[in-house]
Structure 1
């Protein structure tokens, strides 16, 4: 089993370009697995972890409700945002400047074959990272992602998640609000969940902005420990 993970920081990159790149990496892993099965070879499959920051974009998961986007095409353009319906799980979410987006593209057969465990470990990576900033983040029953003050009137999401998996290969991932403009969430019903807020790490800490590279280093450190992975990049 190959536990090496290639870390790539794509910087500030268009959503569709990044989605296409994810698909390219994903397809390469899947094709290797198909070849191994059909030709009885034992070629090693790769693993990748992409960090990226996107321009303003709303994405809707395959089972999502388009009515959870509260803007029409003209209003989207006025906000400088675009919209895509994509092939991950989950409903609608927002990506934009000030947000750390992570796309682990892993062959889970190199680690474990359990999608539920995979999602819970991604959540744990976020929870442990936020704890380093003094925040007590938790899960919300039946709602993938990471939250603050669950089961109170002040419940608010700080990290959204949505993944796709085929032949135990993953793509898409998580979006952690670090220095995000929360006003863009006012134009959707985030993840299709009504009555709960959205927050950002800088807001919770009462600061203008945080060093995103520092946050990424913490995320990767916890990812390495949780997945017993060798991350290089």
Structure 2
């Protein structure tokens, strides 16, 4: 029996990746510890953007980062080796990042179901803009025209789970500078593209509006309580 389900939504705006990683790790560790001790705790959903940064997951291949240290400095980007699943991805201004730090047992979810729901939330956000998005077999994330030669990724998903507590999450390209993806093999793929809401719609999309729609879709899927 869990002490009490509490969930807080935080908007960290534009925040350096290292700071965000440290803060969510602190909340993650506190939640795991509270579960083990039978103490009260808080689930969190964090929304934010990052300055230009690349993150390489545990199973990532160094060769998927196509630039050296000096070249990274020239484009104003940094690289972090991190503790999530998945390969390499890019975060930057104009990309909506969502970090749920949740006790999945409260939501009666396994990790696979949880990732499926994150994908579903983004698929619904895309649909709200008239964009048909979906999944691609053996490729986590959200895709457009996934089973065709025009397959392009609009949202990357990578999570870490321990004791059924999650951290890291999803990165939805809203008004993202897609040129930064050309310096990597995104998520390890060399034959698929990337896209954004802005690119698909032909105009910039208000970030605050996308945040509201994402939270609303998470509410519909019972990941966020409508009373929060």
Band of TM-score, shorter chain: over 0.9
Pairing 1:51–2:47 present: yes
Taking CA–CA contacts closer than 8 Å with sequence separation of 6 or more, which of the two structures ends up with the larger relative contact order? 1
Deviations 1:116-169, CA, capped at 9 Å, x for gaps:
000000000000110000011000001000000111110000000000000000
Partner of residue 207, structure 2: 212
Q: Deviations over 1:55-76 (max 9, x none)?
A: 0000000010011000000000
Structure-1 separation of matches of 2:14 and 2:227: 20
Runs of 5+ consecutive residues of structure 1 not aligned to the other structure: 37-42
TM-score (norm 1): 0.94
Partner of 2:144: 148
Write the distance in 2 (CA, Å) between the matches of 1:222 and 1:44: 27
Where structure 2 has 5 or more consecutive residues not aligned to the other structure, the ranges are none
CA distance in 1, matches of 2:20, 2:32: 18
Pairwise CA RMSD: 1.2
TM-score normalised according to structure 2 size: 0.96
Q: Identify which of 65, 68, 81 aligns with 1:85.
A: 81
Residue in structure 2 matched with residue 195 of structure 1 by the alignment: 191
The list of structure 1 runs, each at least 4 consecutive aligned residues, that deviate by more than 4 angstroms after superposition, is: none
Match 1:112 to one of 88, 102, 108 = 108
Contact kept, 8 Å, 2:6 with 2:41, in 1: the verdict is no
Match of residue 225, structure 1, among 208, 220, 223: 220
Instruction: Name the SS for the 1:123 alignment partner.
Output: helix
Find the partner of 1:19 among 18, 21, 33.
21
CA distance in 2, matches of 1:24, 1:10: 15
Query: What do residues 174-207 of structure 1 show as CA deviations (whole Å, max 9, x unaligned)?
Result: 0000000000000000000120000010000011
Paired residues in the alignment total 226
What is the distance in 2 between the residues matched to 1:143 and 1:153?
15
